[in-house]
Amino acid sequence: MKYFDLLHQIQSRLQIVNGFENEHLVTDFLSPSKAQNSLLVKEGSEGAEILVCLDEAILKKYESIRLPHEFEFRHLPDLSIVIEELSHFNTYCRNAAEDQPLSQLELEVQGEVDKFAVALEWLSEKNEEEFKHRLFDVLFDDCQLGNWVRPDQVSRYRDAHQIAKNFCRKILREDFSSEQRRKSFKDFFETPLSQKAKL
């Protein structure tokens, strides 16, 4: 599929940002969908069955984009969806490889941070870091939840948004080089959830 290149570009960028070298290609677990975007995991006696569901219309829309050079803010809503689901996949694979439990909150927190981290990398490579505060505002100004979020899930999404927002605000306040910033994102990725809210 032509959009496999898009997914490989984003998965590779996530691995650079958070330092987790995932041996599994997301395209091997891809399930193009008509509207669904989610990581589905079915635990069984012989292991886990994993599907990364992504809206095929979004994948086709961006299948020819060259990242980071053609990245623009108008692409952010759609590309954020892809980044977040690939982040969920990477985070799940990391925890499964280390036989560590993983909560839904941890998946959501990491997804929020990874959206910011990847887009910030793209801006940096385009020499457009002056837009990093605009990026923060676009991603974190207002936590709006889709109508698909069940009432019992609202607090989890709001908590994830707030934890990620607080951490990413700290990143913006520091005068980091690209390498220092990557180290901060890698450290965040490795930090237990119980400590992430304190960073």
CA 124 centroid distance within chain: 17
Q: Give the pLDDT confidence of 18-40 residue by residue, as tens digits.
A: 888 888 999 999 999 998 899 99
Calpha distance 155→147 (Å, rounded):
14
CA 89 centroid distance within chain: 9
Judge whether residue 47 has pLDDT over 80: no
Q: Quick check: pTM over 0.85?
A: yes
How open is the CA angle 175-129-79, to the nearest 5 degrees? 120
Calpha distance 31→109 (Å, rounded):
23
Instruction: Supply the pLDDT for residue 197.
Output: 80
DSSP 84-146: HHHHHHHHHHHHHHTT----HHHHHHHHHHHHHHHHHHHHHHTT-GGGHHHHHHHHHS-----
Q: Give the pLDDT confidence of 136-169 residue by residue, as tens digits.
A: 999 998 666 566 656 676 678 788 989 999 999 9
- The percent of residues in the chain predicted with pLDDT above 70, rounded, is 94
Amino acid identity, residue 190?
E
Other Cβ atoms less than 10 A from the Cβ of 119: the count is 25
